[in-house]
Amino acid sequence: MADYTIKRLEDVDDVLGDYPGEMRMLTRALEAEQVAFSYRRMPQHTGGKGSYGHRHKEQEEIYYVVSGKLQFKLGDDVVELERGAAVRVPPETWRSVWNDEPEDAELIIVSKVVPGGSRDDAEYLENFWPE
């Protein structure tokens, strides 16, 4: 018998609480030991603009736009990525994502599992992306 785990988005709690959209971190639910995997749905005017950015000590991240169009602030650059595009962001690069479009955007975030969790590996910068 093969060993595997299947989960649906509905099986995983939304960590955003009252913030619009949803973010579901499937890593723990899937019992993944090496690959961190998160899903995010972003309605218009949600994300990091006017808020903070973050970077990591050792965690590289890949962002894949499943649907819609998103703006990414990567260091001093702002780039737009549409459905089907992916961007790799090295640990030391400050980053934030924003949806300026009227329709929802969906995003997959993939990285490695970090002992202690990604929050222990993250550093935050207030006013990284001023409005």
- Residue 7 Ramachandran class (φ > 0 left, ψ -120 to 50 alpha, else beta): beta
Q: Can you give the pLDDT at residue 116?
A: 65
CA–CA dist 131, 129 (Å, integer):
7
Helices and strands in the chain: count of H runs, count of E runs: 1, 11
CATH class held by domain 33-125 = mainly beta
pLDDT by residue (tens digit) across 83-111? 999 999 999 999 999 999 999 999 999 99
Q: What are the sequence ranges of the domains in the chain?
A: 33-125
CA–CA dist 1, 122 (Å, integer):
38
pLDDT by residue (tens digit) across 31-63? 999 999 999 999 999 999 988 999 999 999 999
Q: State the pLDDT confidence band at 114, using cuts at 50, 70 and 90.
A: confident
CA–CA dist 50, 103 (Å, integer):
20
